[in-house]
Amino acid sequence: MRFSCALIISILLINSNAFSQPADPSGAFTWGLRPDKTRILWTDNSSNEDEFRVERSTNGGAFAEIGSVLANETHFDDATVNPSNVYHYRVRAYRASDMSYSGYTLEVKGPDYLESSHFRVFYNTDDCYPSTGGSTHCTPSDLNAMSQNEYAARILEILEGAYEEYVTNFLFMVPWSPEGAEPIPINLKYCDGGGCAGGGGVGLGPALLDPYDHATNTGDPGSLVVPAHELFHMVQFHYDAIKTDPAGKWVIEGQARAIQDLVCIDAAGLTCQNCDDEPFGIAPYYGQVGNYLGNTNRPVNEISYSAALFWIYLCQQYGATNSEPERGFDFMAEFWDEADDDVNRDGIQVLNATLQNLGESDRFRDIFKNFVVANYAKQLTGPSVPSHYKYVDETQPPGPYDDVNLHLSEYLDPTEQIGPVLSDVRRWGALYHEVRPDPLVPYLQVDYQVDSPHPAFFCLLAIKGDDIVYEERHEGYSFEKSLANDAFEKIAVIVAGLEQDVNFRYSINGTNPILRILDPLTGRKARVGDKNTPEKFVAKLEVLDPDSNPIEGINPTAFNFQIGPQSVPAGNIVTNAYVQGQYWFVIQAPTQENNISYDLVASWSILSDTETNSVQYQPRADADNVLVIDKSGSMSIPPSKIEDAKDAAELYVDSWREGDKIGVVSFNCNASPADMLL
């Protein structure tokens, strides 16, 4: 038998086209918009179709094509729905060049619905795929006492409770509806991991909507928090603001996650249902807080959901509502009220304007600094811990937040040095360095140097027990601090970027400082009178770091003195003061065996200094003493100057004995030698 070449080629072409028909679409499901409008959605698996064609069956009848959409489209809206009918849909791809079709999707049923004043909840109990699993589009068919779908009815009540919370209690705008004056469409369908909000209304994954017992925190908290979270997005969408923020999700998603800690919902006969103490379930607030605290070196205004803790901090610090769980929720309402006045701003601009409206002097920059320190200090409970370093949730179930991640965490031994180390911190991010000094470390020296053209924020905290006993802040390019170890348990340095990323170097060491006696000296003795009835004298010390800078902050009770063979009891230290980089003490001299000169020994920690024969025991006559008071105004700057002068004068007076005479001389000139000769 013979065949022509043309026939063979034709057969090959036909077979080739048969094998290359468009790939079948898949994953079809229905989405209710109104009682008379249903959206059909599917997944496009083809790369060479020209269009998708949608077919519908009414009340079990034959399928007929009702419309088509162009290639790459993945949904079709059927606006000819009669709510009294039962519809099924299927979709296939079509290619015009060879008039070929793909296979059909599975046949899916149009949704049923329940509605209330503000919402319509659409759902399917059958002919929906997948019918099981975490991404199911099917709602269980359980009925409540009113013969309504239990899931749809319960979600409807939760949404109405959230609506009342947002609109009635806190005066937010009504949630936006994509169907205008129609109730907001809510579909119990798998969407974006569990829940979504946007142009099709709200989607809630049925697998996450099992009943939740508010009283015992049992069941699925997603059935409460996911509807509240997604509905809050619809509230935000009504304002249509924050249009110029390049990473606006830190506002949109950060706030919506935060409201899971704030919202209070009346539903199903229960008052103030909330999940603020529920650490588990789908996308829990506590888990999001842990996500941020585990990685703080990220811009807080670019991290979407993980900015939730920042919004909670704002609410607790600047909101007016003091009751739980809604503490400070009114601050968010103030924020969106301001955002609506000018929609072409970013989140920081709106936040600053909101603070101004509330009469607050703080702005985003100030709040960020407090926020990053609070995330380290939040669990401290001592009397010196300021309120702006605390979160209310730390004292409530389910317990405190996670500890912030420490980028440096080390014990510091005597003479040990950490660094120099190169590091970097992101804009509006933070790093946390913690050292725990050995008790034998007499002092600590921290040195941070910025190598970038932009400054960083630094905060040093010295901690004993649960209290902050010393704090120092600095914004700039260099942060150096020498700190006496007053039995500190921890020294923390928080480094934060501001408007720009920052590269920096740091070192922390526990090398020994220098202790020196400045007065009395061998050549300038303290004359304390008779050995049996000795008097008071002034001793002056300085403690210098290796760079010869004075170290302040040493507890005066940490110093010990010895005169000759006699230790000076603590009760013999009459008074003390820190004066211009020096430690001054008024000491009641102890009795001695002989009227001679004795050595003075001063010690602190492992350091000591001895001044030979500097304390003289010998009966003495009364002395005349003169205080000079400067009235020229030169003592006003810095303010500590005049305070130090007052302390010094007081110590001098305290050191004099009965019988001594005091003279006071004032001057208001420049005290030059020419003036002195007049």
Summarize pLDDT for 380-389 with one digit per residue, the tens. Answer: 999 999 999 9
What are the strands of the beta sheet with 443-450, ordered from one edge? 417-425, 502-509, 443-450, 478-484
Residue of 197, 491, 428, 195 whose CA lies nearest to 292: 428
- Classify the C-alpha dihedral 396-400-401-404 as positive or negative: positive
Q: What is the pLDDT of residues 213-233, one digit of tens each?
A: 877 878 888 889 999 999 999
Q: Where are the beta strands (DSSP E) in 181-242?
A: 184-187, 195-198, 201-204, 212-213, 218-219
Considering only 374-383, 577-586, 661-670, which range has the smallest mean pLDDT? 661-670
Cα-based distances in Å from 488 to 6, 404, 509, 577: 95, 20, 15, 21
Q: Look at residue 260 and tell me whether its pLDDT is greater than 50.
A: yes
Please tell me the distance from the alpha carbon of residue 334 to that of residue 255, in angstroms, as a whole number.
13
- What's the predicted TM-score (pTM) here? 0.81
Strand partners, 51: 70, 94
End-to-end CA distance of the chain: 143
Query: Residue 15: helix, strand or coil by DSSP?
Result: helix
Please tell me the distance from the alpha carbon of residue 352 to that of residue 363, in angstroms, as a whole number.
5
Report the pLDDT value the prediction gives residue 110, as an integer from 0 to 100: 98
Query: Residue 358: helix, strand or coil by DSSP?
Result: coil
* % of residues, the chain, pLDDT over 70: 89
What are the strands of the beta sheet with 430-437, ordered from one edge? 408-412, 430-437, 490-497, 456-464, 467-476
Q: Which domains, ranges and CATH numbers included, belong to the chain? A: 22-110 (2.60.40.10), 150-395 (1.10.390), 408-503 (2.60.120), 514-664 (2.60.40.10)
Report the pLDDT value the prediction gives residue 278, as an integer from 0 to 100: 75
Dihedral over alpha carbons 558, 562, 568, 574 (to 10 degrees): -70
Please tell me the distance from the alpha carbon of residue 151 to that of residue 145, in angstroms, as a whole number.
12
Considering only 195-204, 297-306, 537-546, which range has the smallest mean pLDDT? 537-546
| Strands 184-187, 195-198: pairing kind | unpaired
Residue of 166, 174, 230 whose CA lies nearest to 203: 230
Rg, the chain, Cα only:
38
Report the pLDDT value the prediction gives residue 3, as an integer from 0 to 100: 39
The secondary element (H helix, E strand) that includes residue 332 is helix 329-339
Considering only 31-40, 78-87, 124-133, 491-500, which range has the smallest mean pLDDT? 124-133
